[in-house]
Structure 1
Amino acid sequence: MKQVFNFNAGPAALPKEVLQKAQVELLNYQESGLSVMELSHRSMLYENIQNHATERLRKLMNIPADYDILYMQGGASLQFSAVPMNFLTEGKTANYCLSGSWSEKALKEAKKIGRTHIASSSKEENYSHIPEHLELSENPAYLHITSNNTIFGTQWKTTPELDAEVPLIADMSSDILSRTIPVEKYSLIYAGAQKNLGPSGVTVVIVKKELLKRCPDHLPTMLNYQTFAKNGSLYNTPPTFSIYMLSLVLDWVADQGGVAQIEAMNAEKAELIYHVIDSSDSFYKGPAQPGSRSNMNVTFTLPTDELTKKFLYEASEHGFIGLSGHRMIGGCRASIYNAVPLAHCERLAQFMTDFRTNFM
């Protein structure tokens, strides 16, 4: 099979070991005679898969007992609506930190539900950094942040400090499990799986039980978090294969030494590529300010559009996949999620160095 180096932003690289195990089990899961995709979601075999995923995620992230773990569908985009529908109550204001395109989309959906307020923004600086100063509205329903910004290549390095009565809600779709986080400081975390957790199709929601008490009864059934909490995410047919793959990925993370070891590896991978950018005499430029640089999505530009096209073409010829920047801003982007091996980042760093040398 042709070797490629997958730097796609999502759906993203999966660990090779996970794909190999899924391949072995695909036609006959645990001698059941059935593919895992054929298992009934009411069967003990499937319930064991989901329960194992929940237990493994709780241990890896050190999720306290007073939090529920839910499995939903619709990606982060559905959560943009579900969050305000459940928690933006009358007389309250939803607060949003704008740090990139996805936070803008989250705010757009909240505006359809009720009163909103921009607590901080770096939009005027083209989202080149994480906004530092927070200014909450009166009677805040919650504060929403996007922990990592895939398009602009920025990442929150610290958790915002809030009064205890203000729930902190985070879209962690692109950096969940990439580093240790204090889960207890968040009231709700949601993440589409297709970056670090598994394939697309399942959205993980980690929510404090106390916050669930605020969910109103009049909501559509499938947009009410209580539906999933009360039914163990089995009210309807869940995305069973995606949850199975999630379970395998979580086992892989544990086998690597857990989240702390993954975090150290991610820092090493990111430093390799940022070093090439910073030492290139501005041949490569990173639009994200150093203090806000993402360890998941390394964005960079070249001196001209012509050089960018040549870089991407030659990169493709050498097996590097997914290096084009987002269509909104162009340039280049290397998404180095958990499953991207250090060796692949080393190869990319060397290619970038060689490409620059050839044009200097």
Structure 2
Amino acid sequence: MERSYNFNAGPAALPLDVLKKAQSELTNFKNSGMSVMELSHRSKEYEEVHNRAQQLLRELLNIPENYEVLFLQGGASLQFTMVPINFLGNGNGSYVLTGSWSKKALKEAEKIGKTTIAATSEQTNFDRIPKLNELSIDDNASYVHITSNNTIYGTQWQAFPTVENLIADMSSDILCRPLDVSKFKLIYAGAQKNLGPSGVTVVIADKNFLEKGADNLPTMLDYRTHSKNNSLFNTPPTFAIYMLSLVLEWLKDQGGTEKIQETNNQKASLLYNVIDESNGFYNGHAQKDSRSIMNVTFTLPSDDLTKQFLAESKELGFVGLNGHRSIGGCRASIYNAVPLESVEKLSEFMISFQKKA
């Protein structure tokens, strides 16, 4: 069977070269006579995998030495709780609402302590990222939380605010472009969109900031537990971290974040050009200055045409083009691992579908 044109929002496409590499090592990793899934997480073989993944992340993102790289579990959803329980204290968490995930992060923080909304675009159904001059940050803010890319609505921060104690959920766009990590006190990202398979969550955090966490926390919810134990306090998701390391190796081979950004911009431009030149047949949800290069969201003139579009695309091997149930329409998730060829095929289909509609 041929490979599908995979536009799933997450879990998402993985590089074919990575899958082949994992396949070749699946039953006998580095002549150990075992799969990575069977190795002890205390073994030398696995320790090399673990440390290599950390090293590659540091290299690809130019992570400063005073930042920790952690591999945790529970996805971004657990980070919604870990962030406030560690850092909210007697202040308040200041949240910028740009979609469903930032709202969920705020909801969890509200259970821990005081929160404020620094800005929101909900009044226009999250079709844009608030401008930097719209942010209203409380003087008593313990941190400011943003979601860098919004998979459901197809919006993405083009420039980040310069504020104290900035925290970001980058689950759906980490490594899609160069990043100044030093602007943030903490970054977290579930792997299943742009880093690897589901099961591991990457946390990048200023070491001094971590030490300011609350006292007497539950052991597993304290970042310092994982920092002091190299993310090996308990059994980590070893196979997911192994796959993460392969994805990072692949990204390095592609030329790193600067080169992958060029490809991502090319892929996004293909689809946005089709939308913009369709005379309203395709209507992008995101305002142009907030468009994501990871998730392209759009609607067609009617529900019937949308159903027909999705049905015909499925017959041609396209997968994952359904829009999220909250806004409907269509969505193409074009993460790093989605080949340019797949996006070219989709743009061609969109043009031909409009012509015969």
Inter-partner Cα distance in structure 1 for 2:185 and 2:4: 40
Where 1:198 maps in the other structure, the secondary structure is coil
Where 1:333 maps in the other structure, the secondary structure is strand
Inter-partner Cα distance in structure 2 for 1:35 and 1:126: 47
Inter-partner Cα distance in structure 2 for 1:297 and 1:229: 32
- Tell me by how many angstroms 1:216 deviates: 2.1
Where 2:118 maps in the other structure, the secondary structure is strand
Between Structure 1 and Structure 2, how many residues are aligned?
355
1:223-262 superposed Cα distances (whole Å, 9 cap, x missing partner): 1000100000000000000000000000000000011000
- Tell me by how many angstroms 1:328 deviates: 1.2
Inter-partner Cα distance in structure 2 for 1:281 and 1:308: 17
Aligned to 2:247: 249
> Does residue 238 of structure 2 align to residue 240 of structure 1?
yes
One-letter amino acid of the structure 2 residue matched with residue 32 of structure 1: S
- Tell me by how many angstroms 1:217 deviates: 2.8
Aligned to 2:296: 298
Aligned to 1:147: 148
Aligned to 1:59: 59
Aligned to 2:14: 14
One-letter amino acid of the structure 1 residue matched with residue 238 of structure 2: T
Aligned to 2:127: 128
Where 1:243 maps in the other structure, the secondary structure is helix
Where 2:197 maps in the other structure, the secondary structure is coil
- Tell me by how many angstroms 1:159 deviates: 1.0
Q: TM-score, normalization: structure 2?
A: 0.99
Where 1:158 maps in the other structure, the secondary structure is coil
Aligned to 2:158: 157
Aligned to 2:165: 167
Inter-partner Cα distance in structure 2 for 1:192 and 1:204: 6
Inter-partner Cα distance in structure 2 for 1:46 and 1:161: 38
One-letter amino acid of the structure 1 residue matched with residue 81 of structure 2: S
- Tell me by how many angstroms 1:218 deviates: 1.1
Inter-partner Cα distance in structure 1 for 2:208 and 2:325: 40
State percent identity of aligned pairs: 61
Inter-partner Cα distance in structure 1 for 2:285 and 2:194: 24
Aligned to 2:97: 98
- Tell me by how many angstroms 1:270 deviates: 0.2
Aligned to 1:112: 111
Aligned to 1:203: 201
Aligned to 2:286: 288
- Tell me by how many angstroms 1:287 deviates: 1.1
Which runs of 5 or more structure 1 residues have no equivalent in the other structure?
A: none
Contact conserved, 1:93 with 1:138, CA < 8 A, in 2?
A: no
- Tell me by how many angstroms 1:2 deviates: 2.7
Aligned to 2:179: 181
One-letter amino acid of the structure 2 residue matched with residue 267 of structure 1: N
Inter-partner Cα distance in structure 2 for 1:181 and 1:247: 19
Where 1:275 maps in the other structure, the secondary structure is helix
Where 2:332 maps in the other structure, the secondary structure is strand
Aligned to 2:44: 44
One-letter amino acid of the structure 1 residue matched with residue 234 of structure 2: N
1:296-318 superposed Cα distances (whole Å, 9 cap, x missing partner): 00000000000000000000000
Where 2:335 maps in the other structure, the secondary structure is coil
Inter-partner Cα distance in structure 2 for 1:217 and 1:139: 20
> Which aligned pairs between 1:75-86 and structure 2 lie closer than 5 A?
75-86=75-86
1:157-211 superposed Cα distances (whole Å, 9 cap, x missing partner): 001012xxx2000000000000111100000000000011000000000000010
Where 1:103 maps in the other structure, the secondary structure is helix
